[in-house]
Amino acid sequence: MKKKALVLGSTGQDGSYLIELLLKKNYEVHGLIRKSATGNTKNINHLIENKKIYNRKLFLHKGDLLDIGSISNIIDKVKPIELYNFADQDHVGWSYDIPSYSFKVTALSVIEILEILKKRKIKYFQPISSNIFGLNKKNIQDEKTITDPNSIYALGKDTAQNACKMYNRIYKMFNCGAIFYNHESPRRGKEYVTQKIVHGVCQILYKKKKYLMLGDMSAKIDWGYAKDYVEAAWKIMQQKKPDFYIIGTGEVHTVEYFVKNCFDYVGLNYKKYTKTDKKLLRISKTGILKGNTNKAKKHFGYNRNKTKLKNLIKIMMDHELKKYNE
């Protein structure tokens, strides 16, 4: 009998890659789609359009994290053995503009899901962000590092992790997760800096715009490949005991490094085409966030060097450049 999994946030970057992975592993996969995402299924359209997959191996359901009744109904209907929650408001900047909504989606909805699951034998995966470490002054963080969130988004993620651990203790549940560092791909939203850079470089190459406007180019970031990270999520779910793991590369690079390598990829000098816009600077900053992945390596062989940043840049640039050559 096939394993059944329910993926919340099925149209996003992580959710769509996870669905592909689960299908390859012969799961019956069920995905949640919000009303606002019904017209934005581009990340899974190739699956929806495949008659051998859609409504045979992959099934989509309408619902919303803020309508907990819809989530409960889907869980009762599907009866999954694994539930992955990749649905949230995951943009730090936006969390300042819509703080109440951001916290409800990122934290309170998780508690409501845990309330549903506590009487059911369903394994639950909750992604957490490295932003929970915020202003922590350690040069590299591990699972024991004290959290110090510096945004509503980070506060929500910290709450979600603590809620999962508390429910594990009290109700003997299987709530696990990963503290993900920044992870990118061609499916990343256009509002994120990596996609803004990739799109901007290609537009400049093809004379669609003159300059790339950016905020703090000295910011140092631990960047990885989203496909690698959802594979880690699945492996975490297969562990005998529920736990949380740092998932990152353990290396940091500046935004300027990312910019330079994107321009280098198309033979342009980045200094001629980049400008700083103070309006793009964040209200609050974090310390340098760099992940120590030794625990994940020890427990399930996580390889932090599977996709190096230059290769990730190549993947993202090739995907965007292809649009101009079609």
- By CB neighbour count within 10 A (0-12 exposed, 13-18 middle, 19+ buried), where does 100 fall? exposed
d(CA 302, CA 214): 33
Tell me the CA end-to-end span of the chain in Å, nearest whole number: 42
- 153-187 tens-digit pLDDT: 999 999 999 999 999 999 999 999 999 999 999 99
Q: Are residues 14 and 106 in the same domain?
A: yes
**300 located within any domain:** no
- 231-271 tens-digit pLDDT: 999 999 999 999 999 999 999 999 999 999 999 999 999 99
**126 located within any domain:** yes
- 104-135 tens-digit pLDDT: 999 999 999 999 999 899 999 999 999 999 98
**91 located within any domain:** yes
Q: Report the number of distinct structural domains present in the chain.
A: 2
Query: What number of residues does the chain have?
Result: 326
Q: Are residues 153 and 67 in the same domain?
A: yes
Number of other residues whose CB lies within 10 A of the CB of residue 118:
15
Q: Are residues 111 and 233 in the same domain?
A: yes
Strand partners, 97: none
- Asked if residue 75 lies in contact with residue 83, where contact means CB atoms within 8 angstroms, the answer is yes
Calculate mean pLDDT across residues 294-314: 98
Pairing of strands 253-254, 220-221: antiparallel
Q: Are residues 91 and 211 in the same domain?
A: no
Q: Are residues 9 and 107 in the same domain?
A: yes
Q: Are residues 35 and 179 in the same domain?
A: yes
Pairing of strands 212-214, 274-276: parallel
- 45-89 tens-digit pLDDT: 999 999 999 999 999 999 999 999 999 999 999 999 999 999 976
pTM: 0.94
Q: Are residues 53 and 169 in the same domain?
A: yes
Q: What is the CATH number of the domain that holds 277?
A: 3.90.25.10
**243 located within any domain:** yes
Q: What is the model's pLDDT at position 325?
A: 84
